């Protein structure tokens, strides 16, 4: 794992200073339609004419920085998800971390990007003008060393592996609007510009850096953190060898930002989520900040320091600046920058919180740029409770999981099973249990049974309901309430709670279906059967619309089976203002969520 690396940066010291032993690990608005406005009557809303023919914009937005070589995403997703553009659509800029392409993508990387993708899709469906950025972080010593080991230049390694990330994201159906690479000229320009701004502000000075340096971790360690092995090799806590290194370095005056950062956290209580991470950050900053080494004279694989090109920027200034490059910084007058900065959300893993919640806002304050609105840190996904590592040999290829279980199934599992923000674990058994219980049985069967009944007994025509009973209304009310709950949960990135709210309604719908027993009503009370099937179809419609960010393909299939037009799949048609149109001819039903059946080939 390329992770703990940069955590130790500040452990080095400027020469002449004593090593400090801090004893610290230096390592919306929503478009919610007011429900009160809703005229919910005994008369089924289907009877109201629902002016739903929203034009689904298959148009491609001209998003900043979109790569020209390979399109960021396929058109169909956009067609299904983008409500017609309105002049004053609220914007939403979200990012993933940019990934180190010194190896291939693993399930931990996929987790970050899948969760971010679900958020991006959710916000698009909720009517926002979303700009979703991901990419690769291509500089640094580790890239250089991996390249040498593979007989490649760092650029060749970056080109090859960045493409692997891009391919993996496309196999995972990620809907990014742009993919940034830190080796692109536009990013050099942005990084040098922010450096110059920080220098002008008097926050960058030349000093000396010294300490026990681990190449593998890309970080310095205090002597007391290292151990001298019987083989005469000194190692850092994770076991990689360290060498005593002294070099000149530019420093960022982070120590000057303690009060400003604390004031910022205070004024913006939602800046860091979840709360545990926020508390850790606040107490870290309260403990005092050391200046930060931000350049290396010994490395040639990086962005040159503008005033002193012998030095390259130390990777985090370069890496974090990608979020600005993606929206055309330093062209602060550009339409992209003006529209999308500050970012609404940086999704990150818990190992890189400090870089995003402490260093990044300090850099931005120094450069006179507004900090992002929110940073949300998720936990780690562990393979049967164990951290993945190349040496343990349990690194999981997300594409192998997709091949074994399906994209939607993997997405659903990861986002439902693991409370977003906490660590979680996965195993074959747990994935299969979720696929078969939640997807195949609860939602898949309900859809299949009700739609087959409509197909066989009602000539495939969605029936006109009679007056709703108390049970019908209770279920419809529960379905109508989902969008409000989902929006609330999404405000704090509680993705698992969005799904829990939706699947609670699926469970209610199953109870309703079993109690109402529409199969038995065919002979005894056909009008009632039609109403029960209508209500069930309406609930499945709302469930499927809300499931789109999480299981886009299967949800789309369900909506096809319900003959819901592409332009009527956004969240604007949820909540009971509009109901599924009776009288529609439905296609022959087909399972949207197949059961997972164990086979010889099962993992």
Q: Which residues bind ligand MSP (CB under 6 A)?
A: 2-3, 97-100, 108-109, 111-112, 137, 319-320, 322, 348-349, 351-352, 380-381, 388
Kindly tell me which of 6 and 557 has the beta carbon lying closer to ligand MSP: 6
CB of 107 to ligand MSP, least distance (A): 7
> Nearer Cβ to ligand MSP, position 109 or 235?
109
**Smaller CB separation from ligand MSP, 176 or 578:** 176
Q: Distance between CA atoms of 319 and 161, rounded to whole angstroms?
A: 17
Report in angstroms how near the CB of residue 169 gets to ligand MSP at its nearest. Answer: 13
The tokens describing 513, both together, are 């279906």
Question: In Å, how far are 319, 336, 419, 429 from 384, measured between CA atoms?
Answer: 31, 43, 16, 10
**Which CB atom, from 2 or from 190, has the smaller least distance to ligand MSP?**
2
Shortest spacing between CB 385 and ligand MSP, in angstroms = 12
Nearest approach in angstroms of CB 382 to ligand MSP is: 7
Given the complex with ligand MSP, which of 314 and 571 has the nearer CB atom?
A: 314
For the beta carbon of residue 79, count every other beta carbon within 10 angstroms.
15
Q: How far is the CB of 91 from ligand MSP (least distance, A)?
A: 21
Sheet order of strands, 304-305 included: 295-296, 308-313, 304-305
For ligand MSP, the closer CB: 82 or 138: 138
Nearer to ligand MSP, 318 or 568 (CB): 318
Q: How far apart are CA 12 and CA 292, in angstroms?
A: 9
Q: How far apart are CA 382 and CA 380, in angstroms?
A: 6
Among residues 180, 259, 501, 538, the alpha carbon closest in space to that of 530 is found at 538
Q: Which is nearer to ligand MSP, 112 or 199 (CB)?
A: 112
Min dist CB 381 to ligand MSP, Å, is 4
Q: Which distant-in-sequence residues (6+ apart) come within 8 Å of 441 by Cβ?
A: 595
Quickly count: other Cβ atoms within 10 Å of residue 160's Cβ. 14
Rounded to a whole number of angstroms, the minimum distance from the CB of residue 348 to ligand MSP is 5
> Closest CB to ligand MSP belongs to which residue?
349
Least distance between ligand MSP and beta carbon 355 (Å): 7
Query: By the 8 A CB rule, do 287 and 24 touch?
Result: yes
CB 170 → ligand MSP: shortest distance, Å? 18
Which residue, among 38, 180, 176, has the nearest Cα to 117 in the 3D structure? 176
CB atoms within 10 A of CB 51: 7
- Return the number of other C-beta atoms located less than 10 Å from residue 518's C-beta: 24
91 forms beta bridges with: 129
CA distance 60 to 57: 8
> How far, in Å, CA of 491 to CA of 574, rounded?
18
Closest distance to ligand MSP from the beta carbon of 68 (Å): 23
> Which one, 307 or 427, has the nearer CB to ligand MSP?
427
Cα 55 versus chain centre, distance: 27
In the complex, what is the shortest distance from the CB of residue 340 to ligand MSP, in angstroms, rounded to a whole number? Answer: 17
Which is nearer to ligand MSP, 3 or 234 (by Cβ)?
A: 3
Nearest distance from C-beta of residue 270 to ligand MSP, angstroms:
20
Instruction: Choose between 50 and 299: whose C-beta lies nearer to ligand MSP.
Output: 299
Give the nearer residue to ligand MSP in terms of CB position, either 108 or 273: 108
The secondary element (H helix, E strand) that includes residue 426 is: strand 424-426
Q: Which phi-psi region, left, alpha or beta, contains residue 576 (left: φ > 0; alpha: ψ -120 to 50)?
A: left
Residue for token pair 């709670």: 497
Phi (first) and psi of residue 95, to 5 degrees: -135, 155
Q: CB atoms < 10 A from the CB of 13, how many?
A: 19
Contact 283, 358 (CB under 8 A): no
- Dihedral, 410, 412, 415, 417 alpha carbons, nearest 10: -90
Angle between helices 107-125 and 154-171 (to 10 degrees): 50
């Amino acid at each position: 794992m390329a992770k703990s690396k940069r955590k130790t940066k500040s452990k080095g010291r400027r020469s002449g200073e004593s090593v400090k032993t801090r004893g610290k690990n230096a390592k919306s608005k929503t478009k919610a339609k007011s429900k009160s406005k809703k005229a919910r009557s005994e008369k089924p809303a289907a009877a109201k004419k629902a002016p739903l023919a929203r034009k689904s914009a298959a148009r491609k937005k001209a998003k900043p920085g979109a790569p020209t070589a390979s399109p960021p995403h396929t058109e169909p997703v956009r067609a299904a998800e983008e409500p017609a553009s309105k002049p004053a659509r609220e914007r939403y800029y979200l990012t993933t971390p940019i990934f180190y392409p010194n190896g291939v993508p693993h399930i931990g990387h996929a987790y970050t990007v899948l969760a971010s993708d679900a958020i991006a899709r959710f916000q698009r469906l909720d009517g926002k003008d979303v700009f979703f950025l991901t990419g690769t972080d291509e500089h640094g010593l580790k890239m250089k060393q991996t390249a040498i080991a593979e007989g490649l230049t760092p650029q060749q390694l970056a080109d090859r592996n960045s493409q692997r990330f891009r391919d993996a994201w496309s196999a995972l159906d990620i809907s990014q609007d742009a993919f940034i690479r830190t080796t692109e000229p536009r990013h050099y320009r942005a990084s040098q510009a922010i450096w110059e701004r920080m220098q002008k502000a008097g926050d960058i000075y030349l000093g000396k850096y010294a300490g026990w340096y681990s190449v593998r971790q890309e970080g310095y360690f205090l002597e007391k953190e290292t151990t001298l092995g019987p083989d005469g090799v000194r190692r850092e806590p994770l076991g990689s060898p360290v060498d005593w290194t002294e070099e000149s370095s530019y420093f960022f005056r982070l120590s000057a930002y303690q009060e400003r950062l604390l004031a910022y956290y205070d004024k913006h209580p939602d800046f860091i989520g979840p709360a545990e991470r926020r508390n850790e950050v606040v107490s870290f900053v309260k403990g005092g900040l050391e200046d930060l080494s931000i350049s290396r004279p010994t490395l040639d694989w990086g962005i040159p320091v503008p005033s002193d090109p012998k030095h390259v920027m130390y990777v985090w200034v370069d890496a974090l600046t990608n979020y600005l490059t993606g929206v055309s910084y330093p062209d602060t007058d550009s339409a992209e920058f003006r529209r999308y900065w500050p970012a609404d959300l940086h999704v990150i893993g818990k190992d890189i919180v400090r870089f995003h919640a402490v260093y990044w806002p300090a850099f931005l304050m120094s450069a006179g740029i507004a900090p992002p609105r929110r940073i949300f840190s998720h936990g780690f996904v562990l393979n049967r409770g164990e951290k993945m590592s190349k040496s343990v040999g349990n690194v999981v290829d997300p594409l192998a999981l997709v091949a074994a279980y399906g994209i939607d199934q993997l997405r659903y599992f990861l986002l439902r099973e693991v409370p977003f923000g906490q660590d979680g674990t996965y195993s074959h058994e747990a994935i299969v249990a979720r696929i078969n219980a939640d997807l195949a049985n609860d939602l898949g069967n309900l859809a299949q049974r009700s739609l087959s009944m409509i197909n066989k007994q009602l000539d495939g025509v969605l029936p006109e309901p009679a007056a709703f009973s108390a049970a019908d209304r209770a279920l419809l009310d529960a379905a109508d309430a989902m969008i409000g709950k989902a929006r609330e949960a999404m405000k704090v990135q509680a993705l698992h709670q969005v799904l829990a709210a939706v699947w609670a309604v699926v469970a209610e719908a199953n109870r309703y279906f079993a109690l109402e027993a529409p199969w038995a009503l065919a002979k005894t009370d056909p009008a009632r059967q039609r109403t029960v099937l209508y209500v069930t179809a309406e609930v499945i419609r709302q469930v499927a619309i809300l499931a789109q960010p999480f299981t886009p393909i299967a949800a789309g299939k369900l909506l096809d089976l319900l003959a819901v037009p592409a332009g009527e799949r956004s969240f604007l048609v949820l909540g009971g203002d509009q109901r599924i149109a009776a009288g529609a001819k439905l296609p022959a039903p087909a399972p949207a969520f197949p059961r997972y059946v164990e086979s010889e080939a099962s993992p």
